[in-house]
Amino acid sequence: AAAAPVAAKRRREMVPLVRLTNPGRLLWPEQGITKQGLADFYTEIADWILPHVAGRPLSLLRCPGGIAEQCFFQKHPWAGLEGAVRQVKVPDDDEPMLAVDDLAGLLQLVQASVLEIHPWGSTAERPLLPDRITFDLDPGDGVPWQRVVEAAFDVRLRLQKHDLQSFVKTTGGKGLHVVMPLQPGPDWDAVKRFAQMTAESMAAERPDRYVANMAKRVRQGRIYIDYVRNGMGATAVGAYSTRARAGAAVSTPLSWDEIGPGIRSNHFTVANLPKRLAYLERDPWDGFLSLQQHLPSAGTHADPAV
Ligand code: ATP
Ligand code: MN
Ligand code: MN
């Protein structure tokens, strides 16, 4: 449920101070958004983002010189990283990964010029057991926005046939993400197989609209249903993470009755999202965190109607 809004300034006084170096550095020069501005943004929306990124291994896109300079992904500890960012051990990796638990951790990421937070689909505590599936809808060149919206509804409908509820968010880029919470249990292989089957059956049914194949050349005019986000170590950008792209867009959860022609993927931004959240009457992803749902049994998978 939506938390009572807490003024950014008041909240800043409630957390251990994270000292920002170069607070005036411009990260999104065209919008005039500085490092301090990003810290203020996360301070204001902390209750919204933390449930989606806290306690998970993270891939972090760092842009020390802002989006106009070079950015790079980092998932292992670097020198200078301080206490609020925790190191976590994950399978099949000799080096620890990173996780945050609270606003102090988020602000430590801001201090490191992290402009995108990409969590795993599992918690750091149970890295072998995914608890969410992400269908990443990637429109090829020339695909109208309305087709992307319809694709999200198509994924939703297909999941509903298994009594599975899903949720939609903008990516802050070009497409949409349909996210399905899952009660931890099945391993990554099972989850990826389910995601692949869903994508492939959609592509088989509507080959004019969908492809489930990674090869870029076949995407022209169609939407790639990228199910590959759902393996151990794979990530998708987190709900409420900013994007290191022009316009300072934020990956924003929407309710199913909001998505449509009026809200493109880059609609919500560092500048306008706090106001949306302050005035929302209910969480657009109401129920996401408490939903206890399970993959259909293996027998159902073979059903061509999947
Ligand atoms: P869009 O709507 O524009 O497609 P997106 O966030 O879905 O935005 P994709 O290119 O589809 O962008 O990538 C999906 C996800 O794959 C990213 O959110 C990210 O988590 C992951 N990813 C892509 N490239 C890398 C990379 N070089 N290193 C780590 N993760 C990556
Ligand atoms: Mn995508
Ligand atoms: Mn993709």
Question: At 55, which CATH number?
Answer: 3.90.920.10
- pLDDT tens digits for 11-54? 656 555 688 999 999 999 999 999 999 999 999 999 999 999 99
Question: What angle is formed at CA 102 by the lines to CA 11 and CA 255, rounded to 5 degrees?
Answer: 85
pLDDT for the residue numbered 18:
85
| Half-sphere exposure (Cβ direction) of 284: Cα atoms closer than 13 Å | 22
Do 214 and 154 fall within a single domain? yes
Do 63 and 185 fall within a single domain? no
In this predicted structure, the answer to whether residue 1 has a pLDDT above a threshold of 50 is no
209 domain-assigned: yes
Residue nearest ligand 1's atom 13 by CA: 236
Closest alpha carbon to 147 in 259, 229, 14: 259
pLDDT for the residue numbered 306:
47
Q: How far apart are CA 241 and CA 248, in angstroms?
A: 10
Mean pLDDT on 272-300:
92
How far, in Å, from the CA of 78 to the mean position of ligand 1? Answer: 22
pLDDT for the residue numbered 82:
78
Q: How far apart are CA 202 and CA 212, in angstroms?
A: 8
Residue nearest ligand 1's atom 31 by CA: 235
Q: In angstroms, how far is the first alpha carbon of the chain from the final one?
A: 32
Q: How far apart are CA 194 and CA 189, in angstroms?
A: 9
264 domain-assigned: no
Structurally, the chain folds into a number of domains equal to 2
Q: Phi-psi category of 119—alpha, beta or left, where left has phi over 0 and alpha has psi -120 to 50? A: beta
How far, in Å, from the CA of 237 to the mean position of ligand 1? Answer: 7
Do 151 and 108 fall within a single domain? no
Mean pLDDT on 160-189:
98
256 domain-assigned: no
262 domain-assigned: no
Burial 204-214 (b: 16+ CB within 10 A, else e): eeeeebbbbee
- pLDDT tens digits for 48-88? 999 999 999 999 999 999 999 999 999 999 988 878 999 99
Residue nearest ligand 1's atom 16 by CA: 236
261 domain-assigned: no
Do 116 and 195 fall within a single domain? no
Mean pLDDT on 202-223:
89
For 206, the domain range is 132-233+290-299
Do 100 and 149 fall within a single domain? no
263 domain-assigned: no
12 domain-assigned: yes
Mean pLDDT on 158-180:
98
For a pocket test of ligand 1, which of 138, 170, 243, 259 has the largest count of ligand atoms closer than 8 A to its C-beta? 138
Do 176 and 161 fall within a single domain? yes
